[in-house]
Amino acid sequence: MNAYSFFDLRWTMTATALQLRPRHSYRGRHFTRLVLNLINGFREAQEMAHRYEQLSHLSDVELAARKMRRQDLPRIALTGRA
């Protein structure tokens, strides 16, 4: 094996290794996206619980002043709209 054939073999292996990197990167992005979705889902659930907690303490008169009914509170807490 001469010096040039060794260099060509090494270059080919490097090119192959470079082609494999995006797969690992894709898996990393997929995992990161999954974790971020879980965190965002948890945050949204906390916001819904907070909305429901705040609204559930209001009296029926106070809810009526806001044009809400007590039986609509779960939907309002979920969507954020009356």
Q: What is the pLDDT of residue 38?
A: 96
pTM over 0.75: no
Could you report the average pLDDT of every consecutive run of 10 residues in the chain (82 residues)?
A: 50 52 67 94 96 95 95 93 80
Please state the domain extents for the chain: 3-79
8 Å CB contact between 63 and 42 = no
Q: What is the pLDDT of residue 82?
A: 77
Start-to-end Cα distance in the chain: 78
